[in-house]
Amino acid sequence: MSASLATRRALATVLAAGALIGAAALPAVADDDHRHDRRGRSSVVLGEVQHESRGRDRGHNHDNRALNREWVEVKNTSRRAVDLRGFTLTDREGNRYRFKGFRLEGRSSVKVHTGQGRDTHRDVYQDRRHQVWNERDTATLRDHRGNVVDSKSWGRRDHRDHRNHG
């Protein structure tokens, strides 16, 4: 009987360890997906946009300060943090920025700057040497699966705000 008791204890230990590991992994899985409100809209949305910084040589401006005055804001409207790893931000011409391991806290935002800089919890940088956002453009945010989360257009002809396609 002692062998059976030892086997049952070992099995109970393995099951308890598995339950602990599973419970610890749950918050990480929940953070991995962006949240939706009651109407099915994503809690991650595009906010303000600052396009085409006003340099002397617009479109070919290599001044990093001018490039960093060009940005798109990504907002988390929910109370819970969202993992943006793998999310992409693109323009009409196909320029793409991919978020690396970035956690956007609840009820906060991050500005995605065009130029070079040191990423923080409020500002991330695409590390580009040329402007991306034009006076008529569309910013599109996709999740890590490629689904459109939000898009925003601006400009003379196409001044629209496309919210939460997806």
Mean model confidence pLDDT for the chain: 80
Q: Which domains does the chain have, with CATH numbers?
A: 44-154 (2.60.40.1260)
**pTM (two decimals):** 0.71
Q: How many CA atoms lie within 13 A of 160 on its CB side?
A: 9
33-63 b/e with 16+ CB inside 10 Å = b?
ebbeeeeebbbbbbeebebbbebeeeeebee
Q: Please name the residue that has the structure tokens 């070079």.
A: 116
Task: Give CA–CA dist 166/163, Å, rounded.
Answer: 9
With cut-offs at 50, 70 and 90, classify the pLDDT of residue 41: confident
Q: Residue count of the chain, please give it.
A: 166
Least confident interval from 7-11, 57-61, 66-70, 131-135: 57-61
Overall average pLDDT of the 25-53 stretch: 68
